[in-house]
Structure 1
Amino acid sequence: MDNLAQLTIGATLLFCVLATAGVHTYASGKAQREALVHRLSSTQQIPLGRRRRFTGVDRRLKRTGVGKKIENRLAATGLDLTPGEFFVYMLAAVAGFWLVASSLLAAFFGPIAAAIALWAAFAFLNWQRQKRIERFINQLPELSRILANATQAGLALRMALAMAAEELEEPAGEELGKVANALAVGQSIDDALGALAERLPSRELVVLVTTLVLSNRSGGTIVSSLRNLTITLEERKETRREVRTQLSQVTATAYIVPAMGLLMLMFMDNMWPGALDKITASGLGQAVVLMSLGLYGLGFFLVRRLAKIEV
């Protein structure tokens, strides 16, 4: 009986000692982690993560095909959004546009405004992706120069890409970091650079990737090729800037004309209260309104198409 009591007391004391040691280890580890995060964030080496919203919606959405497409588009834009957050914000925008159009114009314009808001959400993703591609293209001359200097110094192409990822700013630094990570886990240079060209499609990047891949396969002199490519990319960068400046007025016209049509509708409804309700009350009036909106949309598409000049 005494042995059982001593064994129980000993086991209890051992459990208390282990529990105390575990709590102390956990507390010290947590304090060290917080100190490390604070030190790195203060020197801007890593960003502090934010709390994600709508995690339940995000988990369910990622299981669907639509969620995967949204996730791929968000990854190409570089936005700090999850598919669930974007989906909820998009639904809120659709509902808000519906209510605003119904209250300011007429009930008939509610679904039309909701459809426009839905299109505008995905157009916003495409716009952000195109902006990121443009920034990446502007960094290509510097990227080519860094790779040429690194290879001339005797570094392998894998090491040159990793060094460029550390020296360049966003988005080139992030994208090249993905390439370096892919090479570190065993992917070939062809596959890693091909994935980069798929994420950020552009003629300039395709030329650079093709030059790197062919030089890596054949073992030729990559330095002279990159030097010549740097000069070509600088010239194309200036040409693209000039073309964009020349077409800025045309691009502004594409947005101003539909905006003028919307303002005219609001002005007419303000001058004659209830005019839009009377117009959209009949089938003929609804058909005329839809035809007018279709013509505005066609004009917007044609102007944007004419202003899109590939350099």
Structure 2
Amino acid sequence: MLGNGLYLIYAAVALSGVMVAEAFYLLYAGRNDRRAAINRRMKLQENKLSQEQVLIQLRKERGLEGRASWFSLDGFRKLRTQSGLVMPLARFLLTSSGVALAVTLAGVWKGLPFSFAIPLLPLLCVVFPVVALKHLKKRRHKLFGIQLPEALELITRSLKAGHPVPVAIAMVAREMPDPIGTEFGVVADEVTYGSDLVSALHNLFERVGHEDLPLFVTAVSIQHSSGGNLREILDGLSMVIRERGKLKRKVRAISTEGRMSAYILTAVPVLLMTAIMVLMPQFYGEVWGEPMTWYLLGGSLSWLMLGNFMLFKMSTFKF
């Protein structure tokens, strides 16, 4: 019986390792795709798919096509769409659950009582997917915000050359990398297959959720309904977005002290505890099995997270 239990533990650890590796692939391997094609939409077109098939595939990958999975709540599904995740939702949840299982097993191996491990596992299974999607969304929004002024300037130059707005948007899809290349490509494809331009741009904002997009959508909507010189509007809008980005970076640089304080206050107890465990393993050896030890560690971690949350709230400004 003991041997069978050990085999089960080894199998669980091996499965957790595979899922952790897949999680790292999910977060970081997407960067290599840009070397093969300028954006994902162009990459799919290289597979001899029609324009309509590419549009359907992109919408399926983002969870916008087909039946809603029973895993999806509205807020979670919106977060998943805006994160740009193309992995199937069930597979993503399975991967994040594997990471949660690996963390829980590591805690049990270090002496975490089963009375703590049993409620910890479902909590981590809920927290890890949300944290991973928020990380992907933040990284995607940062890159999208850098690319948006360049895309507006490209649209402006295309309008100066006499092209209509849908053709100018399609040019952005051909010339710019992800994420903005594929997103504007979906807009161009939706217009091609019957959607009006304003609705396609509203769908773009729902898919991306970047705070600067409503400025662009509103400008095109006003020009579409009442006329006007869209080229001059987009010129001014591009300048406004660039200046807004400069102001954000300046405020972020000024508020670096608060964030660095949070990083240091978090790192010091962790590094100190790690150093003690490496230099004097027997120092905590006698108390790992005591339930009170884990109560105290849990309380300390809670206070540490609360302090970090307050520091980050004081040093984070939204525009």
TM-score, normalised to structure 1, is 0.71
Instruction: Give the Cα–Cα distance (whole angstroms) in 1 for the partners of residues 36 and 135 of structure 2.
Output: 32
In the TM superposition, residue 80 of structure 1 has moved relative to its aligned partner by: 4.0
In the TM superposition, residue 173 of structure 1 has moved relative to its aligned partner by: 0.4
Instruction: Give the Cα–Cα distance (whole angstroms) in 2 for the partners of residues 145 and 174 of structure 1.
Output: 17
C-alpha distance after superposition, 1:233-256 (max 9, x if no partner) = 221222222333333453344345
Give the alignment of 1:238-257 within 5 angstroms: 238-257=246-265
Worse-superposed segment, 222-231 or 292-301: 292-301
In the TM superposition, residue 94 of structure 1 has moved relative to its aligned partner by: 1.1
The aligned residue for residue 289 of structure 2 is 277
Matched letter for residue 150 of structure 1: S
Q: Kindly tell me: are residues 137 and 199 of structure 1, through their superposed partners in 2, closer, same or farther at Cα, counting changes over 3 Å? A: same
The aligned residue for residue 43 of structure 2 is 46
2:220 to 200, 212, 219: 212
Instruction: Give the Cα–Cα distance (whole angstroms) in 1 for the partners of residues 310 and 211 of structure 2.
Output: 24
Instruction: Give the Cα–Cα distance (whole angstroms) in 1 for the partners of residues 83 and 37 of structure 2.
Output: 26
Q: Does 1:144 align with 2:152?
A: yes
Q: Does 1:77 align with 2:83?
A: yes
The aligned residue for residue 166 of structure 2 is 158
Unaligned runs of 5+ in 1: 1-40, 50-57
8 Å Cα contact 2:100/2:128 also seen in 1: no
Give the alignment of 1:1-311 within 5 angstroms: 46=43, 63-66=69-72, 72-107=78-113, 110-111=117-118, 114=121, 115-116=123-124, 118-263=126-271, 267=276, 270=281, 271-278=283-290, 280-281=291-292, 288-311=296-319
C-alpha distance after superposition, 1:124-180 (max 9, x if no partner) = 211111111111111111111112122222222111111111111111101101111
Q: Kindly tell me: are residues 176 and 42 of structure 1, through their superposed partners in 2, closer, same or farther at Cα, counting changes over 3 Å? A: closer
Q: Kindly tell me: are residues 248 and 116 of structure 1, through their superposed partners in 2, closer, same or farther at Cα, counting changes over 3 Å? A: farther
SS in 2 for 1:203: coil
Instruction: Give the Cα–Cα distance (whole angstroms) in 2 for the partners of residues 302 and 105 of structure 1.
Output: 31
Instruction: Give the Cα–Cα distance (whole angstroms) in 2 for the partners of residues 65 and 117 of structure 1.
Output: 13
In the TM superposition, residue 260 of structure 1 has moved relative to its aligned partner by: 4.1
C-alpha distance after superposition, 1:31-66 (max 9, x if no partner) = xxxxxxxxxx988752689xxxxxxxx9xx953043
Q: Kindly tell me: are residues 43 and 157 of structure 1, through their superposed partners in 2, closer, same or farther at Cα, counting changes over 3 Å? A: closer
8 Å Cα contact 1:62/1:83 also seen in 2: no
Instruction: Give the Cα–Cα distance (whole angstroms) in 2 for the partners of residues 81 and 42 of structure 1.
Output: 19
What value does the CA root-mean-square deviation take over the aligned residues?
3.2
Instruction: Give the Cα–Cα distance (whole angstroms) in 1 for the partners of residues 269 and 72 of structure 2.
Output: 33
Q: Kindly tell me: are residues 277 and 265 of structure 1, through their superposed partners in 2, closer, same or farther at Cα, counting changes over 3 Å? A: farther
C-alpha distance after superposition, 1:58-116 (max 9, x if no partner) = 9xx95304377655533322234221221111111111111101222422553575334
The aligned residue for residue 28 of structure 1 is none
Q: Kindly tell me: are residues 113 and 260 of structure 1, through their superposed partners in 2, closer, same or farther at Cα, counting changes over 3 Å? A: farther
Task: State the identity %.
Answer: 21
Instruction: Give the Cα–Cα distance (whole angstroms) in 2 for the partners of residues 256 and 66 of structure 1.
Output: 37
Unaligned runs of 5+ in 2: 1-34, 48-62
In the TM superposition, residue 119 of structure 1 has moved relative to its aligned partner by: 1.4
TM-score, normalised to structure 2, is 0.69
Instruction: Give the Cα–Cα distance (whole angstroms) in 2 for the partners of residues 247 and 76 of structure 1.
Output: 27
